[in-house]
A and B are shown apart, each in its own frame.
Chain A
Amino acid sequence: MAVIDAGMRSGNLSGENLRERRVTNTIPERGRPLISEPLAVRAALIAIAIGFISLFIVLPLVAVFGQAIAKGYSAYQAAITSSDALSAIRLTVIVAAISVILNLIFGLAAAWTITKFDFPGKTVLITFIDLPFSVSPVVAGLVFVLLFGAQGLLGPWLSDHNIKILFALPGIVLATVFVTFPFVARELIPLMQEQGTAEEEAALSLGASGFATFFRVTLPNIKWALLYGVLLCNARAMGEFGAVSVVSGHIRGQTNTMPLHIEILYNEYQFGAAFAVASLLALLALVTLVLKTLLERKLERKTP
C-alpha cells in the first residue's frame, strides 16, 4: 500500500510539474485567458448567474406584463385610461419633472462648489449629500410631516396663511426631491474632481467670462455624466413610494402618484388594473436601462 501510495503521489507530482511547465513555458494562445477554470466550473457559475437573474429579475418582469394583459387588451386599456390612473400618471410626471429640474440645479451647484473650490467643512457637505441614501424614505417623509403637519413646527403658520404643503403637490415634490437629491451630484463629483480646474483657468485667461466658461468648457465636459445622473434621478423620482406615501394623503385622483395608485388597486383586489399600471413603471425601468447602457458607453469613451 505504502509503495503504491508513494508511487501515486510522485505520479501526481510529476503530472503537476508537467502542467506547470506547460503553463509557464508556452506563450498563451491569443484570446484564451491565462487563468482559467475547468469547463464544468465555468458552466456551473454561468448557470447559477443565469438562474438567479431569471428567477429574480426576468420572471417578475414577465409576470407583470403577463398579468397586465391577462384579461385582454381592452381591460388593459381601460385600466390605464381610467380617470384615476390618468391623474396618477399626470401627477407622477409633474412631480418627476419638478424634482429632476431642482436636483439638476442643486447637483450642478454642489458638484461645482465641491470640486472647484476649497473651503472648510467640505467633507461634511459631501456626507450630507449622501444622507438620503442612508435614511429610510419613510423617515424622510415623516420629517416633512413633523415640519409641515397640523401639529408640526410650521403647521399653524402655514394654515394661517392658507398654504397647503402636506397632502398636496408641494409636499410630494419636497419628499421626492429629498429622496433623489444625491443622484446628480454623486455622478458629477468624481468626474469633475478628475478633470480638475485647469481647463476653466485656461478659458478665463483666454478672456472668457465665468458664464461662458461654464457653458463652453465645464458643461460639455460633464454632459454625459449629467445626463446619466438625471436619468437615474428621474427613474427614482417616478418610482418613489415610501416618502411620498407618508406625505401624500392618498387622495384618489388628486395626490396619488403611480406607485400609490398601484398599491390602492392591489389592496382592492383589482389585480388586472394594478398590474396594468405597474407595467408602465416596468416599461420606464426598461427604457431607463437601455438609455443607461448607451450613456455608459459614451462615458467610457474619452473623446466626444
Chain B
Amino acid sequence: MNIDIVNLSKRFGSFTALSDVSLAIRSGELLALLGPSGSGKTTLLRIIAGLDWPDEGEVHFAGQNALNLSPAKRHVGFVFQHYALFRHMTVFENVAFGLRVRPRKERKSESDIKKRVMDLMDFVQIAWLADRYPSQLSGGQRQRVALARALAIEPNVLLLDEPFGALDAKVRKSLRRWLRTLHEELHVTSILVTHDQEEALEVANRVVVMGKGQIQQIGTPEEIYDNPSSPFVFDFIGESIKLPVTIDLEGIRLGSERLAKNGYALPPPGPAQLFVRPHDLAFGDPSAAPLQGNVQGLRRVGSIRYADVLVEFGGQDVIVEASIPPSQNLQVGERVGLTPRRYRVFDAADQAALPAA
C-alpha cells in the first residue's frame, strides 16, 4: 500500500518534532527512517500508526485520508521498541490477540485462529515457545513474538520502531538478515526506524535521513553513503574528516596548498569545510600531496588500521585519522603526504545545521 505523508508538522511544547515533512512511501518497499535521537523519526512512525496526531499536514493510505481513522481501523502492524508484549499472556495468546479482538462478524473460528497462529509461529520459528510467558523469553525471541503478533492482523504496513535496539550485537546481525529475507518473502510495505546507520544501510531498500525534524536526504543506501547531500548527512553517516578550507576564484585552498576540483559544485568564495572519508585519503609522497604530516600513532579497529596524522596548515595543527590501505606499511614518526580522492566541500555557514556531536 502506498503511503503519502504531506506537509506534516508536530510540536511538543516548544520542541519541534516534525516540521513540514513530506514523504512518499511506495507499496512493498522496506524504508528506513534514520536519524539521531530527537530527529522526529519515531514521532513520524507513531503518527502513521495513529498513536499520535500531527498539528498540521495529512497522511494518506492508498490515496485515502488516514488521519480520521482510529489506530484499530488502520491495519498497521506496529513492532514497539521494547516489544510491548502482553506480559500476562502466553506467546500463543500474544500472537492470537489481534485475531481475537476482531468484531464478531469478522472474527475467525477458534480452529482457524489456532491454525493461523501456529503457522505464524512456525514462520518466525517460535512454535516451541507457544506456552511461555514473555518474561521467560530472550530478547531475540521477544522480537520474533512481537513481529508474529504484528503480522497476525495481515497489516497493510509494518512499522518497526528500533526493532534491534535492545539486542546484543551478534543477535542483532542475524535478525537483521532474517528481517530482510522475511520482507522479500512477504513484500509487505515496511518502515523501520533506527539510529543505527549500519542497520539502515544493510536492511533497507531506501533510506530517509532525518535530522532536526526534517528530512535531510532520501536515497538508496549507496546514494546516501557515497553522495551525502549535506554536511549533516556526511557527518551522521559513516566516518568523516572535516578540514577547514578556503574557496577563492581559482578553486579550493587547503592551507597554502591547492586542491584539484572534483565534479561537485563549490560553495561561494569564502571559508568552507571539506568533508572526506578516512578511506578516501590516499597516502603518497609528502612533496606531491596537498596535506603533509607526521604519523603520530597507529591503531587497529577490527579489520581496519588507522593512522593518526598530525597535519599542520595555516598555523593550525589538525589530527587526521586516515585508514591505511592493506598494502601500505607505516611507522610512527614517518612523514607522509595525504591526498583527498573523493570529497565534498560545503559552505561553512551550513555548519549551523550540524548537531553537536
Contact = CB atoms under 8 A, between A and B. Distances in A.
Interface of A: 198-199, 201-209, 212, 216-217, 220-221, 302-304
A208 B101 CA distance: 5
25 contacts: A199-B87, A201-B71, A201-B78, A202-B84, A202-B86, A203-B97, A203-B101, A204-B72, A205-B49, A205-B77, A205-B78, A206-B101, A206-B152, A207-B75, A207-B98, A208-B72, A208-B97, A208-B101, A209-B72, A209-B101, A212-B101, A217-B86, A221-B87, A304-B87, A304-B133
Given A206-B153, A302-B87, A303-B136, A201 B51 contact: yes
Contacts of B97: 203, 206, 208, 216
Q: Mostly helix, strand, loop or mixed at chain A's interface?
A: helix
Nearest to B106: A207
A217 B82 CA distance: 17
B50 interface: yes
B81 to A, nearest CB: 8
Q: Which 3 A-B pairs have the closest CB atoms?
A: A198-B84, A206-B98, A208-B101
- Taking residues whose C-beta sits less than 8 angstroms from the other chain, chain B's interface range is 20 to 34
B313 interface: no
Contact of B51 (A205, A208, A216, A302): A205
B196 to A, nearest CB: 21
Nearest to A200: B84
B88 interface: yes
Contact of B133 (A203, A207, A303): A303
Given A199-B87, A220-B88, A206 B82 contact: no
Given A205-B78, A209-B101, 7 more contacts: A198-B82, A201-B71, A204-B51, A205-B49, A207-B72, A220-B89, A303-B135
Interface string B67-107: 00011101111101010111111000000011001100000
B149 interface: yes
Interface of B: 49-51, 70-72, 74-78, 80, 82, 84-89, 97-98, 101-102, 133, 135-136, 149-150, 152-153
B72 A304 contact: no
Contacts of B89: 220
Nearest to A207: B72
| Among A202, A207, A221, A304, residue most surrounded by chain B Cβ atoms (within 10 Å) | A207
A206 B75 CA distance: 7
Contacts of A216: 97, 101
Contacts of B70: 204
A206 B87 contact: no
Contacts of A212: 101
Contacts of B149: 202, 206
B245 to A, nearest CB: 48
A125 to B, nearest CB: 20
A199 B84 contact: yes
A303 B87 CA distance: 7
A221 B86 CA distance: 9
Contacts of A199: 84-87
A244 B75 CA distance: 54
Nearest to A211: B101
A293 B78 CA distance: 39
A201 B149 CA distance: 13
A202 B133 contact: no
Contacts of B74: 205
A202 B72 contact: no
Contacts of B133: 303-304
A80 to B, nearest CB: 42
A155 to B, nearest CB: 47
A198 to B, nearest CB: 4
A190 B111 CA distance: 40
A14 B71 CA distance: 74
B71 A205 contact: yes
Nearest to A206: B98
A220 B74 CA distance: 26
A192 to B, nearest CB: 13
B102 A207 contact: yes
Contacts of A303: 87, 133, 135-136
A115 to B, nearest CB: 15
Contact of B88 (A204, A209, A221): A221
A212 B76 CA distance: 18
A174 to B, nearest CB: 36
B101 A202 contact: no
Contacts of B51: 201, 204-205
Contacts of B76: 205
Contacts of B72: 204-209
A304 B152 CA distance: 24
B101 A207 contact: yes
A204 B76 CA distance: 10
A101 B97 CA distance: 30
Contacts of A207: 72, 75, 98, 101-102, 153
Contacts of A217: 86
B193 to A, nearest CB: 15
A203 to B, nearest CB: 7
Contacts of A205: 49-51, 71-72, 74, 76-78
Contacts of B80: 198, 201-202
A204 B52 CA distance: 12
